[in-house]
Amino acid sequence: MAKHGDRVKIVTADETIEGTLMPEEKDSVVLKLDTGYNIGIDKKRVREISVVKEYKEKKLEMPKEESKKGLPTIAILHTGGTIASKVDYETGGTVARFTPEELLVMFPELKDIANIRSRLIRNMFSEDMRFAHYNLMAHEVEKEIKQGADGVIITHGTDTLHYSAAALSFMLNNLGVPVILVGAQRSSDRGSSDAGLNLLSAAFFITHSKDFAEVAICMHEGLDDDACVILPGTKSRKMHSSRRDAFQAISVPPWARVDIKEKKVDLLRTGYRKRAKTSVMVRQFKEDLKIGLLKVHTNMYATEFEAYKGYDGLILEATGMGHLPINEIDELTKEHTKIAEAIKKLVASGTITTATTQTISGGIDMNVYSTGRKMQELGIIGNYTDMTPETAFIKLAWLLSNAPKDKVKELYATNLVGEISERLEKIEPKKFK
Protein backbone atom coordinates (compact mmCIF):
# COMPACT_ATOMS: atom_id res chain seq x y z
CA MET A 1 0.00 0.00 0.00
CA ALA A 2 1.38 3.41 -0.97
CA LYS A 3 2.31 5.83 1.80
CA HIS A 4 3.27 9.49 1.93
CA GLY A 5 6.65 10.10 0.34
CA ASP A 6 6.52 7.08 -1.97
CA ARG A 7 7.06 7.68 -5.66
CA VAL A 8 3.86 6.40 -7.24
CA LYS A 9 2.09 5.99 -10.53
CA ILE A 10 -1.58 6.98 -10.61
CA VAL A 11 -3.81 5.65 -13.35
CA THR A 12 -7.08 7.38 -14.25
CA ALA A 13 -9.44 6.84 -17.16
CA ASP A 14 -7.68 9.63 -19.06
CA GLU A 15 -4.01 9.49 -18.11
CA THR A 16 -1.17 8.02 -16.07
CA ILE A 17 0.68 10.40 -13.76
CA GLU A 18 3.89 9.77 -11.82
CA GLY A 19 5.15 11.72 -8.80
CA THR A 20 5.52 11.79 -5.00
CA LEU A 21 2.45 10.95 -2.94
CA MET A 22 1.56 13.77 -0.53
CA PRO A 23 -0.93 13.81 2.40
CA GLU A 24 -4.38 13.51 0.86
CA GLU A 25 -7.13 16.05 1.13
CA LYS A 26 -10.78 15.27 1.76
CA ASP A 27 -11.78 14.30 -1.76
CA SER A 28 -8.44 14.32 -3.57
CA VAL A 29 -5.23 12.38 -3.90
CA VAL A 30 -2.36 14.89 -3.91
CA LEU A 31 0.74 14.30 -6.01
CA LYS A 32 3.96 16.33 -6.20
CA LEU A 33 5.20 16.35 -9.78
CA ASP A 34 8.85 16.44 -10.81
CA THR A 35 8.31 20.10 -11.69
CA GLY A 36 7.80 20.79 -7.97
CA TYR A 37 4.11 21.62 -8.33
CA ASN A 38 1.33 19.75 -6.53
CA ILE A 39 -1.81 18.55 -8.23
CA GLY A 40 -4.99 17.16 -6.74
CA ILE A 41 -6.75 14.25 -8.43
CA ASP A 42 -10.38 13.50 -7.60
CA LYS A 43 -10.47 10.17 -5.76
CA LYS A 44 -13.41 9.07 -7.92
CA ARG A 45 -11.17 9.29 -10.99
CA VAL A 46 -8.36 7.15 -9.57
CA ARG A 47 -8.35 3.58 -10.88
CA GLU A 48 -5.00 2.42 -9.56
CA ILE A 49 -2.08 3.63 -7.43
CA SER A 50 1.14 1.61 -7.74
CA VAL A 51 4.43 2.19 -5.91
CA VAL A 52 7.42 2.93 -8.14
CA LYS A 53 9.88 3.52 -5.29
CA GLU A 54 9.36 3.39 -1.53
CA TYR A 55 10.28 6.43 0.54
CA LYS A 56 13.12 6.02 3.01
CA GLU A 57 13.57 8.73 5.59
CA LYS A 58 16.91 10.49 5.40
CA LYS A 59 18.90 10.59 8.58
CA LEU A 60 19.74 14.08 9.69
CA GLU A 61 23.45 14.44 10.35
CA MET A 62 23.79 16.02 13.74
CA PRO A 63 26.71 18.12 14.88
CA LYS A 64 28.12 17.36 18.30
CA GLU A 65 26.78 19.75 20.90
CA GLU A 66 29.84 21.30 22.47
CA SER A 67 29.82 24.13 24.97
CA LYS A 68 32.12 27.00 24.14
CA LYS A 69 33.92 28.71 26.97
CA GLY A 70 33.13 32.37 27.30
CA LEU A 71 29.72 32.17 25.62
CA PRO A 72 26.55 32.71 27.66
CA THR A 73 23.90 30.00 27.90
CA ILE A 74 20.45 30.50 26.38
CA ALA A 75 17.57 28.13 27.05
CA ILE A 76 15.02 27.82 24.23
CA LEU A 77 11.61 26.53 25.26
CA HIS A 78 9.20 25.56 22.49
CA THR A 79 5.42 25.80 22.73
CA GLY A 80 4.69 25.53 19.03
CA GLY A 81 6.39 24.10 15.99
CA THR A 82 6.27 26.72 13.23
CA ILE A 83 9.47 28.54 14.06
CA ALA A 84 11.49 25.35 14.49
CA SER A 85 9.90 23.29 11.73
CA LYS A 86 10.41 22.62 8.06
CA VAL A 87 8.25 20.94 5.48
CA ASP A 88 9.62 17.64 4.22
CA TYR A 89 8.81 17.97 0.55
CA GLU A 90 9.17 14.26 -0.03
CA THR A 91 6.37 13.43 2.38
CA GLY A 92 4.57 16.76 2.56
CA GLY A 93 4.68 16.55 6.34
CA THR A 94 6.07 19.05 8.80
CA VAL A 95 9.22 17.97 10.58
CA ALA A 96 9.72 19.64 13.94
CA ARG A 97 13.26 20.25 15.20
CA PHE A 98 13.61 21.00 18.89
CA THR A 99 16.86 19.52 20.23
CA PRO A 100 19.97 21.73 20.40
CA GLU A 101 21.61 19.65 17.68
CA GLU A 102 18.60 19.94 15.38
CA LEU A 103 18.37 23.70 15.92
CA LEU A 104 22.05 24.08 15.04
CA VAL A 105 21.40 22.27 11.76
CA MET A 106 18.57 24.70 10.96
CA PHE A 107 20.22 27.82 12.38
CA PRO A 108 23.99 27.18 12.53
CA GLU A 109 24.68 30.83 13.43
CA LEU A 110 23.33 30.13 16.93
CA LYS A 111 26.52 28.30 17.92
CA ASP A 112 28.51 31.53 17.52
CA ILE A 113 26.07 33.53 19.66
CA ALA A 114 25.54 31.32 22.70
CA ASN A 115 25.58 27.83 24.12
CA ILE A 116 22.10 26.52 23.47
CA ARG A 117 19.93 24.14 25.41
CA SER A 118 16.53 23.53 23.91
CA ARG A 119 13.47 21.46 24.67
CA LEU A 120 9.80 21.12 23.87
CA ILE A 121 7.32 21.94 26.64
CA ARG A 122 4.18 21.88 24.48
CA ASN A 123 3.41 21.62 20.77
CA MET A 124 0.21 23.54 20.19
CA PHE A 125 -1.55 26.30 18.30
CA SER A 126 -1.42 29.50 20.32
CA GLU A 127 -5.19 29.99 20.10
CA ASP A 128 -5.49 26.92 22.35
CA MET A 129 -3.59 28.57 25.23
CA ARG A 130 -5.25 28.67 28.65
CA PHE A 131 -4.22 30.10 32.03
CA ALA A 132 -2.80 26.67 32.89
CA HIS A 133 -0.33 26.97 30.00
CA TYR A 134 0.89 30.33 31.32
CA ASN A 135 1.60 28.60 34.63
CA LEU A 136 3.48 25.85 32.80
CA MET A 137 5.61 28.32 30.84
CA ALA A 138 6.43 30.42 33.88
CA HIS A 139 7.59 27.44 35.93
CA GLU A 140 9.71 26.13 33.05
CA VAL A 141 11.35 29.56 32.74
CA GLU A 142 11.96 29.54 36.49
CA LYS A 143 13.58 26.12 36.20
CA GLU A 144 15.94 27.25 33.42
CA ILE A 145 16.99 30.38 35.31
CA LYS A 146 17.72 28.36 38.45
CA GLN A 147 19.87 26.07 36.31
CA GLY A 148 22.00 29.03 35.26
CA ALA A 149 20.52 30.23 31.95
CA ASP A 150 21.64 33.76 31.06
CA GLY A 151 18.42 34.26 29.15
CA VAL A 152 15.36 32.36 27.96
CA ILE A 153 13.69 32.33 24.53
CA ILE A 154 10.15 30.98 24.18
CA THR A 155 8.99 30.07 20.68
CA HIS A 156 5.27 30.66 20.40
CA GLY A 157 2.47 30.89 17.85
CA THR A 158 1.87 34.51 16.87
CA ASP A 159 -1.92 34.73 17.28
CA THR A 160 -1.84 35.01 21.09
CA LEU A 161 1.86 35.67 21.61
CA HIS A 162 1.12 39.09 23.10
CA TYR A 163 -1.25 37.55 25.67
CA SER A 164 1.52 35.20 26.84
CA ALA A 165 4.08 38.00 26.93
CA ALA A 166 1.77 40.04 29.16
CA ALA A 167 1.04 37.04 31.38
CA LEU A 168 4.72 36.26 31.93
CA SER A 169 5.45 39.94 32.61
CA PHE A 170 3.12 39.83 35.60
CA MET A 171 4.00 36.31 36.72
CA LEU A 172 7.81 36.39 36.81
CA ASN A 173 8.66 38.40 39.92
CA ASN A 174 12.30 39.27 40.72
CA LEU A 175 13.29 38.44 37.16
CA GLY A 176 17.03 38.94 36.68
CA VAL A 177 17.53 37.80 33.06
CA PRO A 178 15.75 38.54 29.76
CA VAL A 179 12.86 36.34 28.66
CA ILE A 180 12.10 36.86 24.96
CA LEU A 181 9.08 35.46 23.13
CA VAL A 182 9.62 34.75 19.45
CA GLY A 183 7.21 33.72 16.71
CA ALA A 184 7.13 33.29 12.96
CA GLN A 185 4.54 34.63 10.54
CA ARG A 186 5.87 32.43 7.72
CA SER A 187 6.99 28.81 8.17
CA SER A 188 10.70 28.03 8.09
CA ASP A 189 10.63 26.26 4.73
CA ARG A 190 9.50 29.37 2.84
CA GLY A 191 11.97 31.75 1.29
CA SER A 192 10.05 34.62 2.87
CA SER A 193 10.19 33.08 6.35
CA ASP A 194 10.89 35.38 9.27
CA ALA A 195 11.69 32.49 11.63
CA GLY A 196 15.48 32.56 11.36
CA LEU A 197 15.95 36.30 11.77
CA ASN A 198 13.53 36.49 14.69
CA LEU A 199 15.20 33.65 16.58
CA LEU A 200 18.77 34.74 15.87
CA SER A 201 17.97 38.36 16.74
CA ALA A 202 16.47 37.30 20.07
CA ALA A 203 19.58 35.29 20.90
CA PHE A 204 21.89 38.12 19.79
CA PHE A 205 19.94 40.63 21.88
CA ILE A 206 20.18 38.47 25.00
CA THR A 207 23.95 38.21 24.66
CA HIS A 208 24.60 41.84 23.67
CA SER A 209 22.04 43.89 25.59
CA LYS A 210 24.14 43.59 28.77
CA ASP A 211 21.72 44.72 31.45
CA PHE A 212 18.19 44.17 30.05
CA ALA A 213 16.00 41.85 32.17
CA GLU A 214 12.41 42.19 30.97
CA VAL A 215 9.86 39.91 29.37
CA ALA A 216 9.72 41.06 25.74
CA ILE A 217 8.84 40.08 22.17
CA CYS A 218 11.29 39.89 19.27
CA MET A 219 9.80 40.15 15.77
CA HIS A 220 10.54 41.79 12.41
CA GLU A 221 10.74 45.58 12.29
CA GLY A 222 9.77 45.81 8.60
CA LEU A 223 9.03 43.70 5.57
CA ASP A 224 12.71 43.25 4.70
CA ASP A 225 15.18 41.11 6.61
CA ASP A 226 17.00 44.17 7.89
CA ALA A 227 16.29 44.17 11.61
CA CYS A 228 14.07 43.06 14.46
CA VAL A 229 12.64 45.09 17.31
CA ILE A 230 12.40 44.18 20.97
CA LEU A 231 8.85 44.99 22.02
CA PRO A 232 7.51 45.44 25.58
CA GLY A 233 5.66 42.43 26.96
CA THR A 234 2.65 44.40 28.20
CA LYS A 235 2.47 47.11 25.51
CA SER A 236 2.48 45.16 22.25
CA ARG A 237 -0.10 43.80 19.86
CA LYS A 238 -0.41 41.80 16.66
CA MET A 239 -1.67 44.38 14.16
CA HIS A 240 -1.72 42.38 10.93
CA SER A 241 -2.82 38.82 10.24
CA SER A 242 0.09 37.76 8.05
CA ARG A 243 2.79 40.39 7.54
CA ARG A 244 6.22 39.76 9.00
CA ASP A 245 6.17 43.16 10.71
CA ALA A 246 2.74 42.58 12.23
CA PHE A 247 3.73 43.26 15.85
CA GLN A 248 3.88 46.82 17.15
CA ALA A 249 4.57 48.51 20.44
CA ILE A 250 1.47 50.41 21.57
CA SER A 251 1.73 53.96 22.97
CA VAL A 252 5.47 53.53 23.68
CA PRO A 253 8.56 52.98 21.51
CA PRO A 254 10.14 49.52 21.28
CA TRP A 255 12.86 48.74 23.81
CA ALA A 256 15.53 48.18 21.17
CA ARG A 257 16.40 47.51 17.55
CA VAL A 258 18.57 44.51 16.66
CA ASP A 259 20.62 44.33 13.45
CA ILE A 260 22.48 41.03 13.39
CA LYS A 261 23.98 41.75 9.96
CA GLU A 262 25.72 44.79 11.39
CA LYS A 263 26.09 43.00 14.75
CA LYS A 264 24.63 45.82 16.80
CA VAL A 265 21.89 46.53 19.29
CA ASP A 266 20.42 50.05 19.50
CA LEU A 267 18.56 50.76 22.72
CA LEU A 268 15.62 53.05 21.94
CA ARG A 269 14.60 53.89 25.50
CA THR A 270 15.50 53.24 29.11
CA GLY A 271 13.50 52.38 32.21
CA TYR A 272 13.74 48.61 31.88
CA ARG A 273 14.39 46.17 34.68
CA LYS A 274 18.11 45.49 35.11
CA ARG A 275 19.89 42.15 35.25
CA ALA A 276 20.75 40.87 38.69
CA LYS A 277 21.38 37.67 40.57
CA THR A 278 17.91 37.30 42.01
CA SER A 279 15.70 34.41 42.94
CA VAL A 280 12.85 34.51 40.43
CA MET A 281 9.42 33.77 41.88
CA VAL A 282 6.32 32.71 39.96
CA ARG A 283 2.96 34.14 40.95
CA GLN A 284 0.64 32.03 38.88
CA PHE A 285 -2.93 32.23 37.61
CA LYS A 286 -5.94 30.55 39.14
CA GLU A 287 -6.81 28.21 36.33
CA ASP A 288 -10.58 28.17 36.87
CA LEU A 289 -11.13 31.94 36.66
CA LYS A 290 -13.75 33.19 34.22
CA ILE A 291 -12.82 36.51 32.64
CA GLY A 292 -14.85 37.95 29.77
CA LEU A 293 -13.80 40.34 27.01
CA LEU A 294 -16.73 42.09 25.31
CA LYS A 295 -16.34 44.41 22.32
CA VAL A 296 -18.75 47.33 22.48
CA HIS A 297 -20.61 48.13 19.28
CA THR A 298 -23.76 49.83 18.06
CA ASN A 299 -27.18 48.22 18.46
CA MET A 300 -26.25 46.27 21.58
CA TYR A 301 -28.68 44.46 23.88
CA ALA A 302 -28.75 43.99 27.62
CA THR A 303 -28.61 40.23 27.17
CA GLU A 304 -25.06 40.57 25.80
CA PHE A 305 -23.96 41.88 29.21
CA GLU A 306 -26.19 39.53 31.19
CA ALA A 307 -24.40 36.59 29.56
CA TYR A 308 -21.43 37.29 31.85
CA LYS A 309 -23.37 36.68 35.05
CA GLY A 310 -21.21 34.55 37.35
CA TYR A 311 -17.92 35.66 35.77
CA ASP A 312 -15.10 36.83 38.01
CA GLY A 313 -14.27 39.76 35.75
CA LEU A 314 -15.29 41.47 32.53
CA ILE A 315 -13.27 43.73 30.23
CA LEU A 316 -15.44 46.08 28.18
CA GLU A 317 -13.62 47.08 25.02
CA ALA A 318 -15.35 50.45 24.88
CA THR A 319 -15.44 53.08 22.15
CA GLY A 320 -13.31 56.22 22.09
CA MET A 321 -12.05 57.29 25.50
CA GLY A 322 -14.21 54.62 27.11
CA HIS A 323 -17.90 54.84 26.26
CA LEU A 324 -20.87 52.45 26.33
CA PRO A 325 -24.41 52.70 24.89
CA ILE A 326 -26.16 53.48 28.19
CA ASN A 327 -28.04 56.70 27.36
CA GLU A 328 -31.76 56.62 26.59
CA ILE A 329 -32.11 59.69 24.40
CA ASP A 330 -35.30 58.84 22.45
CA GLU A 331 -37.88 56.13 21.81
CA LEU A 332 -35.29 54.19 19.80
CA THR A 333 -32.79 53.85 22.67
CA LYS A 334 -34.92 52.34 25.44
CA GLU A 335 -32.67 49.25 25.35
CA HIS A 336 -29.80 51.41 26.65
CA THR A 337 -31.49 51.83 30.02
CA LYS A 338 -31.73 48.05 30.22
CA ILE A 339 -28.00 47.80 29.39
CA ALA A 340 -27.11 50.19 32.21
CA GLU A 341 -29.23 48.17 34.62
CA ALA A 342 -27.62 44.93 33.47
CA ILE A 343 -24.14 46.36 34.13
CA LYS A 344 -25.20 47.65 37.54
CA LYS A 345 -26.46 44.18 38.53
CA LEU A 346 -23.30 42.55 37.15
CA VAL A 347 -21.08 44.77 39.28
CA ALA A 348 -23.29 44.28 42.36
CA SER A 349 -23.02 40.51 41.93
CA GLY A 350 -19.22 40.70 42.29
CA THR A 351 -18.06 40.73 38.68
CA ILE A 352 -15.26 43.30 38.51
CA THR A 353 -16.04 45.27 35.37
CA THR A 354 -13.47 47.45 33.64
CA ALA A 355 -13.28 49.64 30.57
CA THR A 356 -10.51 49.75 28.03
CA THR A 357 -10.51 51.30 24.58
CA GLN A 358 -10.90 49.55 21.25
CA THR A 359 -8.93 52.37 19.61
CA ILE A 360 -5.83 50.46 20.86
CA SER A 361 -3.68 53.59 21.26
CA GLY A 362 -4.61 56.23 23.81
CA GLY A 363 -6.20 55.97 27.21
CA ILE A 364 -9.48 55.89 29.09
CA ASP A 365 -10.89 59.15 30.44
CA MET A 366 -14.36 58.77 31.88
CA ASN A 367 -14.48 62.34 33.16
CA VAL A 368 -14.79 64.15 29.82
CA TYR A 369 -18.34 63.20 28.81
CA SER A 370 -21.44 62.46 30.85
CA THR A 371 -21.44 58.87 29.56
CA GLY A 372 -18.12 58.23 31.26
CA ARG A 373 -19.27 59.73 34.54
CA LYS A 374 -22.40 57.57 34.41
CA MET A 375 -20.22 54.51 33.78
CA GLN A 376 -18.24 55.25 36.94
CA GLU A 377 -21.50 55.53 38.88
CA LEU A 378 -22.39 52.03 37.64
CA GLY A 379 -19.14 50.76 39.16
CA ILE A 380 -17.00 50.41 36.04
CA ILE A 381 -13.27 50.90 36.72
CA GLY A 382 -10.27 51.60 34.47
CA ASN A 383 -10.30 55.38 34.35
CA TYR A 384 -6.96 56.97 33.31
CA THR A 385 -5.44 53.68 32.14
CA ASP A 386 -4.14 52.97 28.65
CA MET A 387 -3.80 49.19 28.57
CA THR A 388 -4.57 47.25 25.42
CA PRO A 389 -7.68 45.05 25.77
CA GLU A 390 -5.49 41.94 25.81
CA THR A 391 -3.20 43.22 28.56
CA ALA A 392 -6.22 44.43 30.56
CA PHE A 393 -7.70 40.93 30.30
CA ILE A 394 -4.46 39.32 31.49
CA LYS A 395 -3.88 41.84 34.29
CA LEU A 396 -7.37 41.49 35.74
CA ALA A 397 -7.08 37.68 35.71
CA TRP A 398 -3.66 37.83 37.36
CA LEU A 399 -4.82 40.27 40.04
CA LEU A 400 -7.84 38.13 40.85
CA SER A 401 -5.42 35.21 41.19
CA ASN A 402 -2.94 36.94 43.48
CA ALA A 403 -4.49 39.89 45.32
CA PRO A 404 -7.28 40.25 47.89
CA LYS A 405 -10.45 41.11 46.02
CA ASP A 406 -10.86 44.38 47.93
CA LYS A 407 -7.45 45.49 46.60
CA VAL A 408 -7.97 44.49 42.95
CA LYS A 409 -9.64 47.73 41.87
CA GLU A 410 -6.85 49.84 43.32
CA LEU A 411 -4.10 47.66 41.86
CA TYR A 412 -5.79 47.52 38.46
CA ALA A 413 -5.29 51.29 38.14
CA THR A 414 -1.66 51.06 39.34
CA ASN A 415 1.25 50.60 36.95
CA LEU A 416 2.93 47.35 38.02
CA VAL A 417 5.13 46.16 35.13
CA GLY A 418 4.94 48.91 32.53
CA GLU A 419 1.39 48.15 31.40
CA ILE A 420 0.15 51.69 32.12
CA SER A 421 2.07 54.60 30.62
CA GLU A 422 3.39 57.20 33.03
CA ARG A 423 2.65 59.65 30.25
CA LEU A 424 1.16 59.08 26.82
CA GLU A 425 3.79 59.41 24.13
CA LYS A 426 2.92 60.33 20.57
CA ILE A 427 3.88 57.31 18.48
CA GLU A 428 3.16 57.34 14.77
CA PRO A 429 1.24 54.16 13.85
CA LYS A 430 2.68 51.84 11.24
CA LYS A 431 1.09 52.32 7.84
CA PHE A 432 0.26 49.07 6.06
CA LYS A 433 0.38 49.47 2.29
Q: Any idea which residues carry the catalytic annotation?
A: 82, 158-159, 238
- CB-neighbour burial class of residue 288 (10 A; exposed 0-12, middle 13-18, buried 19+): exposed
Q: How far apart are the first and last CA of the chain?
A: 50
Q: Are 228 and 219 in contact (CB under 8 A)?
A: yes
Q: What is the rounded distance in angstroms from the CA atom of residue 5 to the CA atom of residue 87?
A: 12
Whether residue 184 contacts residue 245, with contact meaning beta carbons closer than 8 Å, is answered with no
Q: For residues 147 and 325, what is the distance between their CA atoms, to the nearest angstrom?
A: 53
Rounded to whole angstroms, how far apart are CA atoms 304 and 326?
13
The CA distances from residue 48 to 1, 30, 383, in Å, are 11, 14, 69
- List 385's β-bridge partners, or say none: none
Going by C-beta distance under 8 Å and a sequence separation of 6 or more, which residues neighbour residue 351?
308, 309, 310, 311, 312, 313, 314
